[in-house]
Amino acid sequence: MKLLVFAHTPPPHHGQSYMVQLMVAGFGGDRRKRARPQAGGPAPESPYGIECYHINTRLSQKLEDIGDFRVGKFILLLGYCLQAIWCRWRYGVTDFYYIPAPGKRSALYRDWVVMMICRPFFKRIILHWHAAGLAKWLERVVGMRHRALTYRLLKRVDLSIVLSKYNRADAEKLFSRQVRIVSNGIPDPCPQFDANIMPRPKARFAARRKLLSGQSLTEEDLKETGGDPQVVKVLYLAHCTREKGVFDTLAAAAIASRRLAEAHAPVSLKFLVTGGFVTAEEEAEFKRIMAEPDMARMVQYFGFVSGDQKHQLMREADLFCFPTYFQNENQPVNLIEAMAFGLPILTTRWRSLPELFPADYPGLVNIRSPEQVAEVMLALMTNESGAGFRDIFLRTFTLDQHLASLAEAFLHIGPENPAAEPAAAVRTSSS
Q: Which CATH superfamily is domain 193-395 in?
A: Glycogen Phosphorylase B; (3.40.50.2000)
- Res 68: pLDDT: 60
**What residue spans in the chain does CATH classification 3.40.50.2000 cover?**
193-395
pLDDT 10s digits, 1-51: 999 999 999 988 888 999 999 999 999 999 988 645 544 455 556 789 999
- Write out pLDDT tens, residues 365-376: 999 999 999 999
Whole-angstrom Cα distance, residue 252 to residue 9?
A: 34
Region 390-402 average pLDDT:
97
Burial annotation 152-188 (CB, 10 A radius, 16+ → b, else e): bbbeebbbbbbbbebbbebbebbebbebbbbbbbbeb
Residue 184 near residue 336, CB atoms below 8 Å: yes
Helix, strand, or coil (residue 380): helix
Q: Where are the beta strands (DSSP E) in 326-422?
A: 345-348, 364-365
Q: Which CATH fold would you assign to the domain 2-184+399-430?
A: Rossmann fold (3.40.50)
- In whole angstroms, what is the distance from residue 376 CA to residue 283 CA? 27
Percent of the chain at pLDDT exceeding 90: 82
pLDDT at 398 over 90: yes
Burial of 88 from C-beta contacts in 10 A (0-12 / 13-18 / 19+): buried
Integer Cα distance of 325 and 313 in angstroms = 24
Question: pLDDT, tens digit, for every residue of 216-226?
Answer: 999 999 999 99
Q: SS3 for 70-92, per residue?
A: CHHHHHHHHHHHHHHHHHHHHHC
Distance separating alpha carbons of residues 264 and 234, to the nearest angstrom: 20
Q: Tens of pLDDT along 47-102?
A: 899 999 999 999 876 655 555 667 788 999 999 999 999 999 999 999 999 999 88
Q: How far apart are CA 40 and CA 42, in angstroms?
A: 7
Mean pLDDT, to the nearest integer, of 166-193?
Answer: 95
Mean pLDDT of 248-269: 96
Q: Where in the chain is the domain with CATH 3.40.50.11930?
A: 2-184+399-430
Write down the pTM of the prediction.
Answer: 0.90
Confidence class for position 174, pLDDT limits 50, 70, 90: very high
Q: 353 versus 104: which is more confidently predicted?
A: 353
Task: Determine the distance from the C-alpha atom of residue 303 to the mean position of all C-alpha atoms in its chain, rounded to a whole number.
Answer: 18
Could you give the residue ranges of the DSSP H alpha helices within 198-279? 199-212, 219-222, 246-262
Grade residue 262 by pLDDT with cuts at 50, 70 and 90: very high
- Residue 300: its pLDDT value, please? 97
